[in-house]
Chains A and B, each alone.
Chain A
Amino acid sequence: MTKASTPASDQTTSKTGQASEHAERLTNLESSYSGTISREEGLALFRDMTLGRRFEDKCAEMYYRGKMFGFVHLYNGQEAVSSGVIGAMKLKHDWFCSTYRDHVHALSAGVPAREVMSELFGKETGCSKGRGGSMHLFSKEHHLLGGYAFIGEGIPVALGAAFTSRYKKDALGDINSDAVTAAFFGDGTCNNGQFFECLNMAQLWKLPIIFVVENNKWAIGMAHDRATSDPEIWRKAKAFGMKGEEVDGMDVLAVRAATERALKRARAGEGPTLLECLTYRFRGHSLADPDELRSEKEKEFWANRDPLLSLERHLNEKGLVSSDELRSIEKEIDSEVLDAVEFALAAEEPSPSDLTKYIWAD
């Protein structure tokens, strides 16, 4: 069943009054590229997004060369979300909670590429000491609450971190406790009970949390509009009296601006925001996914909206940076990623004698 055959109702119409496809919704959103950005901010975003992209490309290469195993879910195409959200937040202060598609969130949060790559190679130098793997990246130092491999299970954990922020402020009297938690998850998760349960509690207790939906339109092979009664996820916030916002998830400045609005509310004690970022993954669900269901036309539409190209175009148009500068950043990033691979290859595996280490806290 296509959306076109679905009767339009108030619940499923977009701003234009028509039931709309994912792509149509995107084109209806205003671009934020008219906003201002400094040269430094632009370079930082470009650097972070490029690191995300190049790191994931290298992962694919390493996976196919047999250097990493298991389920590996790459983030290509969605970089504007990670860089836009996390880039607006305070590193090592705010908290981040991710899913199985967590490499790039970890990088944006400041976990060194060496530690992430080491983890993917199963090495002791990995951020989870080689015990977690691709879907279980953790870093207490960088306030990464983890990659959670099952759908929805990270949302309550993120809610708990947000609860701690409020608890420290209102029960322990720490007036400086203003950490906000960003919970990342996908469109498929928004049909799961934990999503609704946590939206309810977050709004009920005015917890400082941003629910970041990375709506990439596909839950493995289940198209979003085949799985949900109202494809416009941001509207579901309204049922809880919560602020909901939809944003062009291919536009890093739009994502960043929306995050800044949500952060302001959260830090002011006004509670959570549901932020739906319309985005797309350029690769299959995982490296094991033959990706046979998505049409070439659809892929082409989104490829034309590559968030890295859009940012570059904007930075050029504004005369903030030259393409040469960006190419040289890409070279630096490539070296950093290569260094991460070499570091990870050379690193030690966990010692067999440490097999049961980390089960218990002392």
Chain B
Amino acid sequence: MEGTLLFNALREAIDEEMAKDPHVCVIGEDVGQYGGSYKVTKDLYEKYGELRVLDTPIAENSFTGMAVGAAMTGLRPIVEGMNMGFLLLAFNQISNNMGMLRYTSGGNFKIPAVVRGPGGVGRQLGAEHSQRLEAYFHAVPGIKIVACSTPTNAKGLMKAAIRDDNPVLFFEHVLLYNLSEKLPEDDYICALDQADLVKEGKDITILTYSRMRHHCLKAVQQLQEQDIDAELIDLISLKPFDMETIARSIRKTHRVIIVEECMKTGGIGAELIALITEQCFDDLDSRPVRLSSQDIPTPYNGKLENLTIIQPHQIVEMANQIVNEGK
């Protein structure tokens, strides 16, 4: 069997869930006739019709709010942010309505909605299209946040997100859509709240998510050649963090590096490092470290763009430094 590209894995997940539950629908810009700007909803319009795969005008705030109202009244909408950055325009609806409404309504309503789309730093897309909104949305109560990183987890997580009765922000990475992998053949799902232990190791824990998983994998291989046995964990769930898996690893390695693509200030790693310090302080033999993107708008120039985000060699260097500091 041939491998499945990540965008097709997502498409399969949506297609299968739409076939199973007629309340599942897709809402967004160019999701229908055009098939989605990254083809995640290709051919679904023909298969399910114009209401279940709804092409919207360019009105992020309002169609996201519309998804909230649809979810409150019995549908299970999947909102596509053509680029996740566009959803800054829908921040109020995601925060005030999706995130807080179940609580402020005293449990009257549930919001089974998925908000998905591509984010992250691509290849010279410019600052506005290279955002990492996971950090901006992280403080919003009542929403789950996941980031997929492989075709297999993309499909399993998407299906789980669609079936979940809570709003889920689902981050895809613009540079991972063409990853290929052979998928399990059964109707599997991946837990929304569980980290993925990518590679076991004993010397240092590397925590990461989304595209940086693949940078970390390269780094881990190089570290292996330098006799450093790193443990690599893909967080998958950015909210809530799977602290059980994280703590178990730190109890073993006593060292931790967080590798992230979001900016350092107010980032995912900032919150994670605070939790690790609070919960795992006694298990640490060295300072926990973040490797994050620069606190700047992503520059257009390719060389500068590369300098903005973390590269594998920086992970190798930092891991060496931390491991040797502890000796």
Interface residues of A (CB under 8 A from B): 95, 97, 126-132, 136, 138-140, 145-146, 148-150, 153, 155-168, 170-172, 193-194, 197-198, 200-201, 204, 357-362
Contact = CB atoms under 8 A, between A and B. Distances in A.
Interface string B145-174: 000000000000000000001100000000
A266 to B, nearest CB: 15
Contacts of B70: 160-161, 163-164, 167
Interface stretch (B100-108, B197-205, B206-214, B227-235): B100-108
B66 A362 contact: no
A148 B166 CA distance: 20
Contacts of A357: 107
B69 A159 contact: yes
- With most chain B CB atoms within 10 A of its CB, the pick from A162, A168, A361 is A361
A153 B74 contact: no
Contacts of A153: 65, 92-93, 96-97
> Which of B23, B66, B74, B112 has most A Cβ within 10 Å?
B66
Contacts of B57: 197, 200-201, 204
Given A159-B66, A160-B69, A198-B62, A361 B25 contact: no
A130 B102 CA distance: 13
B277 interface: no
Contact of A160 (B52, B67, B112): B67
B72 interface: yes
Interface in B78-116: 92-93, 96-97, 101-112
Of A126, A157, A198, A360, which is in contact with the most chain B CB atoms at under 10 Å from its CB? A157
Given A167-B70, A194-B62, 20 more contacts: A128-B108, A130-B106, A131-B104, A132-B105, A132-B106, A145-B69, A146-B109, A149-B96, A153-B65, A156-B93, A157-B69, A164-B75, A171-B49, A193-B62, A194-B61, A197-B57, A198-B66, A201-B66, A358-B102, A359-B142
Interface residues of B, number: 44
Nearest to A128: B106
B314 interface: no
Interface in B43-64: 49, 51-52, 56-57, 59, 61-64
Contacts of A358: 102-103, 105-107
Interface of B: 22-23, 25, 49, 51-52, 56-57, 59, 61-75, 92-93, 96-97, 101-112, 141-142, 165-166
A160 B71 contact: yes
B97 A197 contact: no
A25 B263 CA distance: 55
B92 to A, nearest CB: 6
B186 to A, nearest CB: 26
A138 B104 contact: yes
B109 A150 contact: no
Contacts, number: 151
A134 to B, nearest CB: 12
Contact of B59 (A126, A146, A150, A200): A200
Contact of A157 (B22, B66, B108): B66
14 contacts: A97-B69, A127-B108, A129-B107, A153-B97, A156-B61, A160-B71, A161-B70, A163-B75, A164-B69, A164-B70, A167-B52, A171-B51, A358-B103, A361-B102
Contacts of A362: 165
A354 to B, nearest CB: 10
Contacts of B106: 126-132, 138, 358
Nearest to B105: A138
A162 B51 CA distance: 13
Contacts of B73: 95, 145, 160-161, 164-165
The residue among A145, A163, A170, A358 with the most chain B CB atoms within 10 A of its own CB is: A163
Q: Which 9 A-B pairs have the closest CB atoms?
A: A160-B69, A156-B65, A129-B106, A138-B105, A197-B62, A361-B165, A157-B69, A197-B59, A361-B110
A171 B59 contact: no
A156 B62 contact: yes
A138 B105 CA distance: 5
A193 B61 contact: yes
A339 B26 CA distance: 47
A161 B65 contact: no
Contacts of B52: 167, 171
A161 B71 CA distance: 8
B237 to A, nearest CB: 14
B166 to A, nearest CB: 5
Nearest to A358: B107
Given A166-B51, A170-B51, A128 B65 contact: no
Contacts of B59: 193, 197, 200-201
B60 to A, nearest CB: 9
B101 to A, nearest CB: 7
Contacts of A164: 69-70, 73-75
Contacts of A166: 51
Contacts of B23: 172
A159 B75 contact: no
Q: Which of B22, B56, B102, B106 gathers the greatest number of chain A CB atoms within 10 Å?
A: B106
B65 A160 contact: yes
Contacts of A361: 102, 110-112, 165-166
